[in-house]
Structure 1
Amino acid sequence: MLSSIPISAIRAFEAAARTGSFRDAANELHLTPSAVSHAIRKLESTMGTTLFERSARSVRLTPAGANLMRHAGAAFDNLRRGIEEVAGRGPQLLRVHSAPSFAAQWLAPRLARFLAAEPKLEVRLAASTEYARFNNDDFDLDIVYGQPRSESLEIVSLGEETVTPLCTPEIAKKIRKPKDLFGQVLIRSEVKQVQWHQWFAANGLGSPAIHGMRFDRSFLAIAMASSGLGVTLESTRLAEREIATGKLIAPLAGRSVDIRYVGHYLVFPRANQERRAVRAFVDWIAAELSQADSKSRFLETRARK
């Protein structure tokens, strides 16, 4: 039967099953949606079974379609990897997308170590607040801020982060207890999951009226705090370089309640975990986080006055 089925029909089926849309499959394959639909109907006729349940707005795999996709998806993944390995004359490209502040503050400064450990890999790093869309094959993995909701992705927690007030040593001289923050310029990162009112509540205080600067990225809030603008409520992971160099300290370390939460996650399509480049990156970032966590107590001590 295989000899009677055009590979183009299998390709159309795999793209539609992977994206969940005839239209998205058509865009990917540079065809019209009607051409994709026709190819799949011909495939269903040849196989004598229905592969998709169709409605006005969506398509969904039947049990037979899901069974075929398990094999077809794996076959096309293997084919893509084979083409990359055979056709790639230079380093293998790993396409990474990341939340901007994590990319700027934590990931980018470490990438040289990853490339030194994996000389046959080349990394393309992009950063934005939008989540990567894997169905267009632009990225291999994504580091996102906030809990991912997709059930079709492999999700790896990047561990807890400590959120605490941070400022320059000069400003810290005026801060002895949490209430001393009421007289300071409080810097806000608007997209941060942990905000000032939550920190004040955790320390038994009502939140004061905040008239300080607002930024939409943590790396901007950290930069402004480093310049002496005021006090920022930020992750010690994202501010680790500024803490290590003494530009920022935690004036209330050991004298207040900090907030710990999981902020970042590494996500990628489950099929990608079979790729050596993706496995290498996942293993490397886990090792880097473990090493960073072992230094966290030192950094927190360094952050004190």
Structure 2
Amino acid sequence: MLSSIPISAIRAFEAAARTGSFRDAAKELHLTPSAVSHAIRKLESSMSTTLFERSTRSVRLTPAGENLMRHAGVAFDNLRRGIEEVAGRGPQLLRVHSAPSFAAQWLAPRLAQFLSAEPKLEVRLAASTDYARFSNDDFDLDIVYGQPRVGGVDIVPLGEETVTPLCAPEIARRIRRPKDLFKEVLIRSDMKQVQWHHWFVANGLEPPAIHGMRFDRSFIAIAMASSGLGVTLESTRLAERELSSGRLVAPLAGRSAELRYVGHHLVFPRANRQRRAVRTFADWIMAELAET
């Protein structure tokens, strides 16, 4: 059926649906409003459906039109991006997905520096605990927490992270040895792979029953510890800004066993390894991690 529909009609539909106006679509496409209207009516006729509800002052997509626009909008976005990349004009869009705490604590504060060094790249960043769906072409790369569970991808470990108790300076004055933590409010991050019982066992102590505050994200636990709520067991990489500013300190650094593990991985489809934008971003992350 696609071969019987002129691409110009689909282009007119996409422009009208995106702008919400036949007149604005006509200006964008350098056509007359009547030409846009005629092209869309021809498209509706060939598909035996109504795509727009028309009134004297406005047009609005029907459910069928909304459905078609979901696909046509993505198709034209991809086409525009491909033309820009091949022609070397305009910014190249890099769609990045990341684990929330890594995005908030480490990546976002550095993006301005990256974009300043790479003015031809445009980054679209999304953060969630779900894995990026590369099969839908939603993202170009993903920074995942834990072990990736996706096939057909390149996986780059982002180095070891150090996990140690962190707290505000006023609380740290009371902590001189691991046993002192038994008297403090212990903050838990439920999504963390390294938990308090791992740390106590590594330091030769029986893990206590923990009745402190619980959060589902590391960046929340770090924020709560910075406000003086208690002691959190967290990655010094994720808490680097708070440690640098003095809002958090590591009271048992050098006086206890620290835990180290590879918490994050950079993941991207193997087909993307040849894309300059992906290579540039991956090289930049590894260079930043090497410095810190």
State the TM-score, normalizing by the size of structure 1.
0.68
Give runs of aligned pairs for residues 26-45 of structure 1, distance below 5 A.
Answer: none
Where in structure 2 are the equivalents of 1:7-156 lying within 5 Å? Answer: 83-86=83-86, 89-156=89-156
Distance (whole Å) between structure 1 residues aligned to residue 195 and residue 180 of structure 2: 17
Match of 1:209 in 2: 209
Residues of 2 paired with 1:128 and 1:90: CA distance?
A: 29
**Matched residue, 2:160:** 160
How far the C-alpha of 1:113 sits from its partner, in A, is: 1.0
The answer to whether 1:236 aligns with 2:236 is: yes
> Is 2:157 aligned against 1:182?
no
SS in 2 for 1:244: helix
In structure 2, C-alpha distance between the alignment counterparts of 1:114 and 1:159, rounded to whole Å: 20
Per the TM alignment, residue 83 of structure 1 is displaced from its structure 2 partner at its CA by 3.1
Residues 252-286 of structure 1, C-alpha deviation per residue, up to 9 Å, x if partnerless? 01100010000000000001010000000011001
Q: CA RMSD in A?
A: 1.8
Tell me the equivalent position of 2:261: 261
Letter in 1 for 2:209: A
Distance 1:125 1:83, change over 3 A: same
Q: Secondary structure, in 3 states, of the residue corresponding to 2:210? A: coil
How many residue pairs match? The answer is: 216
Whole-Å separation in 1 of the counterparts to 2:182 and 2:95: 44
Measure, in 1, the Cα distance between the counterparts of 2:287 and 2:174.
38
What is the Cα deviation at residue 209 of structure 1? 1.1
* Kept after mapping to 2: 8 A contact 1:81/1:275: no
Shift of 1:251: 0.5
The normalised TM-score by structure 2 is 0.71
Identity %: 81
Structure 1 residue 85: Cα displacement: 1.5
User: Secondary structure in 1 aligned to 2:247?
Assistant: coil
Q: Using the TM superposition, give the Cα deviation of residue 93 of structure 1 relative to its aligned residue in structure 2, in angstroms.
A: 0.5
In the alignment, is residue 273 of structure 1 matched against residue 273 of structure 2?
A: yes
Matched-pair contact (CA < 8 Å) for 1:188–1:212: yes
Moved segments of 4+, more than 2 Å: 79-84, 86-90
1:11 paired residue number: none
Tell me, yes or no, if the aligned pair for 1:94 and 1:140 is still in contact at 8 Å. Answer: yes
d(CA) in 1 for partners of 2:147, 2:280: 23
Distance in structure 2 (CA, Å) of the matches to 1:154 and 1:214? 34
Unaligned runs of 5+ in 1: 1-6, 8-78, 293-305
Which residue identity is paired with 2:99? A
Specify the SS of the correspondent of 2:286: helix
1:246 maps to 246
| Cα distance between partner residues in 2 of 1:253 and 1:126 | 34
Q: Is the CA contact 2:165–2:252 (under 8 Å) kept in the aligned structure 1?
A: yes
Which is greater in Rg? Answer: 2
Q: Which residue of 1 aligns with 2:220?
A: 220
Distance in 2, Cα, partners of 1:165 & 1:227 = 15
